[in-house]
Structure 1
Amino acid sequence: MSGIFTDRDEETAGEAEAEPVQEGTAPPRAPRRRRSRTVLVAAACVVVAGVAVVGRLGLGGGGGAGPTAPPRAGSTVPVARQTLVERTKVEGRLGYGAEIPLPVKASGTVTWLPEAGTTAERGDTLLRVDDRPVVLLYGTLPMYRELGMTTATPPASEGGGDTGKGAGTGTGTGTGTGTGKGTGTDKGTGTGTGTGTSTGADTQPAPPASASPQPLRGMDVLQFESNLAALGYTGFTVDEKFTSGTERAVKRWQKSLGLPETGRIGLGDVVYSTGRIRLGQAGVRLGAAAGENVLGHTGTTRKVVVDASALEASWAVRGSEVTVGLPDGTPVKGEVASVGRQAAPPEGEGDSGTPPTVPVTITIPDQRSLGRLESGPVSVEYVGRKRENVLTVPVAALVALAEGGHGLETEDGRFVAARTGLFADGMVEVSGPALRAGLKVRIPQ
């Protein structure tokens, strides 16, 4: 029975004998099919990646629909229609402005000075000269003469000489020589005495006429009387005449100041300003001679000064609104009050080629918004260009196209060209035939 084989045994033996691989024979068919499938999958991945790159670069697509790429992660935003405003920031300085010397006309020795930063108003003493107070009053007309009652000079017909006629009697003695005729020739000499009456002119000086005080007139009188009444000293009519009523009020005011009650205001007794002032650094020391540079002053309102480039100062128009950024970042509203007319090189630049600057003064209507800050560096933001009712997208949505320029990626993966305009506040103006309000575009990650 050992020599008998069945068909099954033959098949099994045949398979067992076929397992060794002989040299020069072909590999089994099943392994060859698996290797071909792997090569095809790799080639397909390369093709898909190539399409995605072409779409990203904007190749093959114009303003219309282009090749699509597989969905990618990233947020989408709509193209919006709005107004864009370009804002620019420049540096400025907060303070009270440049100090101006007070027009002090008092002569003598300075015996008292105020502290820098003191606020003075009508009736306050600014300084003392020869221990006499120099008082602040309000007005625009400077002090240019002494104020008080005047003494009228009578006409010449009232206070000159008096001419009249008078009669006088005089006695005179004289000697004379005469010649007479007679029966003969006779010469003789005689002496005679006579009395006569004469009439002539006689001039004598008249006693001087008494001069009476007369009112002083002028706009400076009106300005002074307005201040005197505002300080509470009345009893006169506020007008252009310095009368005896004004004189009596002045004496009461002088008494309150500890001055001799003369009823007259000297040239250096008062200084006029347009309102309250802030006193600055003194220009002299105690014991020095008084003069017009003895004390400086500014206004009491804090303001900002910007040295704006003369080439870019078109924004500085009186009345224009700006935003002032304080050192702590707080924004406050400001308004352009004045623009200098004389350009000057930037401070410390010399002839470095830097464009000249002009001073721009900005007022802060709400002084309380500044808190207790009196000086320091600030920023000033102003409006430059403005584009109204334009299509806009976030700047981050822009992509660079291979053929040049910018484009936007739509929600479905298409890339469309976009012309850019004004950039402002993180947004950009865009335009193009394929763009419309509401179109969803992707912000690349």
Structure 2
Amino acid sequence: MKALMCRTQISAVALPGYLTGSLTLAILRMQMQWRPAKHYSPAEVEADQMPVLSNPNNSSPSQVSDSGADPNTSTNRPWRRHSFRVALAFGVGGVAAAAIIFYGVNDTVIDEEETITRAVASAEVRDLVEFNDLSGRMVYADVKPIVSSEDGVITDVLRSGDTIERGTVLYAINDSPTAAFYGTFPLYRELSEGAVGEDVIVLKKNLSALGYHSFEEHDGTMIDTGFVVDNVFDDSTTEAVKRWQKDQGAEESGVVSPSDVIVLNGPAEVADVSTDV
């Protein structure tokens, strides 16, 4: 059987710069896959052990020398030129294959990145609070000292932190209570029936606010005494003062002295209590 020996041989060829690396890769791969051609003995030829290739020029087998001549002779030159074309075709294919492989790898990476599960947290609305720790001592602003004008034994007194409201008993000297009234004008004198002035208005306003402008009968009937808030200390004022003194546990004299009332601007708190013996 006549056989065709193939040997890949590439001469120095000027290739475009951007293809050189790819073509070289393809040619090297082809050389590793194709074994170098060798001469076969007639026995091997008869035994069908030599690879058989079809004639690339579609020529008849008679054009191939069967004399076992050196493949480098002129009779093999057409095949060598064709071998170069085959190698070049493989090189171009190698470029395409390399491009497909490279792009395929990139596409796979992109697909994997797209399938990555991302952590998702629900949006929440919260209040931002900032705390500052400061060391110091709290003191009361606008502290007003209250000094008793009476000498005697303290029988009752508020404690530090107690709240002072209208009618609150601040202290008691010899069981005589001193209460807090609201206002801006002090009770600087003794008030009794017939007195007229700004301090009388303060007294009557506080008696009315505490509910002493009228009184309740035993059967629950409310009696209007004709109490009117003005600057005149009249008989209705005297009766109102007596009802107030009774509830305070004081003598029901109907007369108000400066030691009976301390006038404040409004609600307050006891900051400190001190006594002198």
Comparing both structures, which one devotes a greater share of its residues to helix?
Answer: 2
Place the TM-score, normalised by the shorter chain, in its bin. Answer: 0.3 to 0.5
Comparing both structures, which one devotes a greater share of its residues to strand?
Answer: 1
TM-score, with length taken from structure 1: 0.28
